[in-house]
Amino acid sequence: MCPHSLQPYASSEEKKVNMDLFHRESLGKDTPTGRECQFCRRADPDFAKRDPMDRLVLSMLDDTAGAHITEDGYVKHRIAELMTKKRPFGTIGAALPKSA
């Protein structure tokens, strides 16, 4: 196959679309080197329902939002962080007596 710059000129009707194999849709079968995020496993009650790729973090990094392989995994990690920070405040407020 000739490089793009060496290909003869073709009209838009004659051009064929070549699929870019690096931007194909992932069907969950391709898993880069990674491991499940242990923080999300403990903090997110819906962790088991996540897409398998959204559970993974890069194996050489800590269990942080930025280590997640997918954007959805990053967002769900951040939500889990916020929920763990919110829970202690909810329990403190529930223990306070009501005033008149």
Are the CB atoms for 80 and 40 separated by under 8 Å?
Answer: yes
Distance, in Å, from the CA atom of 9 to the CA atom of 5, rounded to the nearest integer, reads 9
- DSSP character at residue 9: P
Summarize pLDDT for 2-52 with one digit per residue, the tens. Answer: 555 555 555 555 556 555 555 555 555 555 678 999 999 999 999 999 999
Residue 60 is predicted with a pLDDT of 86
**Domain boundaries, given as residue ranges, for the chain:** 31-90
Asked if the model's pLDDT at residue 1 lies above 50, the reply is yes
Residue 86 is predicted with a pLDDT of 79
- Cα torsion angle, 72, 77, 82, 87, sign: positive
Residue 10 is predicted with a pLDDT of 55
Distance, in Å, from the CA atom of 7 to the CA atom of 48, rounded to the nearest integer, reads 49
Residue 34 is predicted with a pLDDT of 87
Residue 50 is predicted with a pLDDT of 95
Asked if the model's pLDDT at residue 98 lies above 70, the reply is no
Label each residue of 13-38 as H, E or C.
CCCCCCCCHHHCCCCCCCCCCEEECH
* Average pLDDT score over residue span 46-69: 93
Residue 90 is predicted with a pLDDT of 47
Residue 41 is predicted with a pLDDT of 96
Query: Where do the DSSP E strands lie in 1-99?
Result: 34-36, 56-58
